[in-house]
Amino acid sequence: MSDGLKEYARDFVGINHPGGTLRLRAMVLGPKSNDDLARDMLAARSKKSKDTWPLADAVRAVAEARSEGLSLLWNEQK
């Protein structure tokens, strides 16, 4: 999995997004599956660039970003 994909997934779920706490909560705690979020992320990416990633890699990147986001939210609560 490329570093570009990992960073894009982090941006997509709101980790690197300025003022992204609300977005982060919606993405991390929301009802969508990792598969659905990865498809949404790839669809958003395809509007901006012809370069894209395989769905399986995107699902893994979203899962990692959601996990990281959950840790950030959990630490924010403490």
Give the pLDDT of the chain (78 residues) as one tens digit per residue: 789 999 999 999 989 876 668 888 888 889 999 999 999 999 999 888 888 899 999 999 999 999 999 998 888 765
Contact 53, 42 (CB under 8 A): yes
For residue 7, what pLDDT is reported? 93
Check residue 75 and give its pLDDT: 83
| Cβ-based neighbours of 69, under 8 Å, separated by 6 or more | 13, 14, 15, 24, 27, 28
pTM of the model: 0.86
Asked if residue 24 lies in contact with residue 72, where contact means CB atoms within 8 angstroms, the answer is yes
H/E element, 61? helix 55-77
